[in-house]
Amino acid sequence: MGIFSTLFGGTKTNEKVSDLLQRGALIIDVRTPEEYKAGHIKESVNIPLNIIPNKVNELKRKNKPIVTCCRSGARSGMAADQLRKAGIEVENGGPWNSVQAMM
């Protein structure tokens, strides 16, 4: 199970996500608008994965930590990597409903 915990979140990742949420992190759901409309975290912002590179400067200006989420955690992991490389404090929250349960 070790590799799956690493890929899709484990205790340490959950602790980091929980910490960021307590600090007022911006929640970014990187699914498509159609997926987002089918169900999402009320406080989240929908920025599809393919749009993330165009939003980096705007997200930096918000000066807030970020938690990314999607359906399974794969796309949100890719988004988190992009944002981290841009110097933004970010954690992959994995599936959106898991992030919602942490709130």
- Tokens linked to 92: 């992959």
Asked whether residue 9 carries a pLDDT value surpassing 80, the answer given is no
**Which phi-psi region, left, alpha or beta, contains residue 70 (left: φ > 0; alpha: ψ -120 to 50)?**
beta
- Planar angle of CA 68, 1, 81, nearest 5 degrees: 25
User: Which of the residues are catalytic?
Assistant: 70
Domains of the chain: 2-102 (3.40.250.10)
pLDDT of 11: 65
Average confidence score pLDDT of the chain: 91
SS3 content of the chain, % helix, strand, coil (to 5): 55, 15, 25
Q: What is the pLDDT of residue 60?
A: 97
**68: helix, strand or coil:** strand
Question: Does residue 64 have a pLDDT over 80?
Answer: yes
Q: Give the pLDDT confidence of 22-33 residue by residue, as tens digits.
A: 999 999 999 999
pLDDT of 70 above 50 = yes
Mean of pLDDT values over 5-19? 71
